[in-house]
Amino acid sequence: MQTMAERIVIPGGALDPHVHFRQPGATHKEDFTTGTRAALVGGYTAVFDMPNNPIPTMTPAALDEKRRLAHGNIYIDVGFNYGGTLESSQTFQLVIDRVRALKVYMNPTTGNLLVESDKELETIFSMWPKKHPIMVHAEGPTFERAINMARKTGQRLHLCHMSLASEMQMIIDAKEEGLPVTAEVSAHNLFLTEDDAKHMPHGMGMVKHPLATEKDRQALWDNIDAIDIIASDHAPHTKEEKDKFEEGKGPYGVTGLETTLPLMLTAVNAGWLSMEKLVDMISTKPREIFRLKSDSQTYTEVILGDRPHVIDAKDLETRAKQTPFDGYMVTGRVANVDLRGVRILREGEIVGLPQGRVL
Ligand code: NCD
Ligand code: ZN
Ligand code: ZN
Ligand code: ZN
């Protein structure tokens, strides 16, 4: 294996369209400041915040409150995804220019934005203006129902955090059919299995989509060319909350903003994917799907083939201070980030002020 360190520029910096910053309503887990600090250290120049807060982002008022709270407190750019329900579909036209995507939850997860019937789903899909894509949380059999709805309504569909070999096959088939579908994978589903989850304390491996079998994990790598983007699905919960899994049921979700790029660079070092594919998955493709322009003064510089170092949960910027990759060895690192010509991360240290923009 090569050990020569090499610096590589990711034009535009990394873009993550799937993070949960928890403000307002659960800032003991994360807020816009801690969340964007974690994102910056992780090499991101823009992220999109998901709508599943205690008061969900499914009204113009809730959206504007988030935009107000973020303003002046973010280290990188932050956009917002709108929650799709029958009720919120009445307001789609009012918010379309202030959001980046619609998010529809088709299975239970953190929050209560669940949409279960195909009838409601069809109304929501039909009402959504075609300017931005529809992102869905859809697991297993539900995955196929989402694809069917994209076929029926002609909407651009983005399938979040896929993890199963069967889902991989459905994506391949849908793309062959020419449907406008894109697929997202998270690092934890590329690196970990249900067996790893069993050996982790604090329900640390409990996440939706669940960590799956080794066969599923391998299917993702075998078909990585059919996966469009990598998103962190950064979903912070405190240790105390995750501990509740020891008595049965705690909140699903793991942090990911600070570990995704180092892990993926390690995968490049190991020859599991090319650096070109990684740049595509973390910057070029998400910018294309979510129609976010960048400029030549904004970029992330990473180090490939770095000397091995160990991920340590207590060094993380995220308020949740935990990761399923605690103690994991990586050989890639985020060095520098420039945002619109201003250096905001220097050799891994935050040097900028909270000058990110609300997108
Ligand atoms: C997410 C969260 O905690 O907000 N949890 C998760 O397990 N991924 C919600 C989600 O993306 O499903
Ligand atoms: Zn989800
Ligand atoms: Zn414990
Ligand atoms: Zn999520």
Of 124-128, 248-252, 340-344, 353-357, the range with the lowest mean pLDDT is 248-252
240 burial class (0-12, 13-18, 19+ CB within 10 angstroms)?
Answer: exposed
What's the pLDDT band for 246 if we cut at 50, 70, 90? Answer: confident
Tell me which residues have their CB closer than 6 angstroms to ligand 1. 20, 52, 109-110, 137, 207-208, 233, 235, 251-253
How much is the average pLDDT of 117-133?
97
Task: Provide the pLDDT for residue 340.
Answer: 98
Asked if pLDDT for residue 33 goes beyond 90, the answer is yes
Q: Supply the residue whose CA is at minimum distance from atom 7 of ligand 1.
A: 253
Average predicted confidence (pLDDT) for the chain: 96
Q: Which of 19, 20, 185, 189 maximizes ligand 1 atoms within 8 Å of its Cβ, making it the mutation to test the pocket?
A: 20
The predicted structure's pLDDT at residue 253: 98
What's the helix, strand, coil split of the chain in %, to 5?
A: 35, 20, 45
- For residue 1, how far is its CA from the centre of ligand 1 (angstroms)? 36
Q: How many A from CA of 141 to the centre of ligand 2?
A: 15
Question: What mean pLDDT do residues 20-39 have?
Answer: 98
For a mutational test of ligand 1's pocket, the pick from 207, 208, 211, 255, i.e. the residue with the most ligand atoms closer than 8 A to its C-beta, is 208
Q: Helix (H, G, I), strand (E, B), or coil: what is residue 263?
A: helix
pLDDT for residue 102: 98
Contacts of residue 188, Cβ cutoff 8 Å, sequence gap at least 6: 205, 207, 211, 233, 254, 256, 324, 325
Which residues have CB under 8 Å from 88's CB, separation 6+? 58, 59, 82
Report how far ligand 2's centroid is from the alpha carbon of 143 (Å): 12
Residue bearing the CA closest to ligand 1, atom 9? 110
Expressed in angstroms and rounded, the spacing between residue 252 Cα and the centre of ligand 3 is 15
Confidence of residue 3 (pLDDT cuts 50, 70, 90): low
Q: What is the pLDDT of residue 201?
A: 84
Residue 57 confidence class, pLDDT cut points 50, 70, 90: very high
DSSP alpha helix (H) spans, the chain: 32-41, 60-70, 92-95, 118-127, 141-153, 165-176, 187-191, 194-198, 214-222, 239-243, 260-269, 275-279, 285-289
In contact, 278 and 260? CB cutoff 8 Å: no
- Confirm if 9 and 296 have CB atoms less than 8 A apart: no
The pLDDT > 70 percentage for the chain reads: 99
Residue 2 in this model has a pLDDT that exceeds 60: no
User: If you average pLDDT over residues 321-344, what whole number do you get?
Assistant: 97
Q: What is the C-alpha separation between 300 and 109, in angstroms, rounded?
A: 32
Token readout for 353 is 């002020």
Q: What is the pLDDT of residue 202?
A: 81
Least confident of 1-10, 39-48, 202-211: 1-10
Is the pLDDT at 350 greater than 60, yes or no? yes
The mean pLDDT value for 29-46 works out to 98
- Note the pLDDT tens digit of each residue in 133-171: 999 999 989 999 999 999 999 999 999 999 999 999 999
Instruction: Using CB atoms within 10 Å of the CB of residue 260, give its burial: 0 to 12 exposed, 13 to 18 middle, 19+ buried.
Output: buried
pLDDT band for position 247 (cuts 50, 70, 90): confident
Report pLDDT for 4.
75
Output phi, psi for 328, to 5 deg: -80, 140
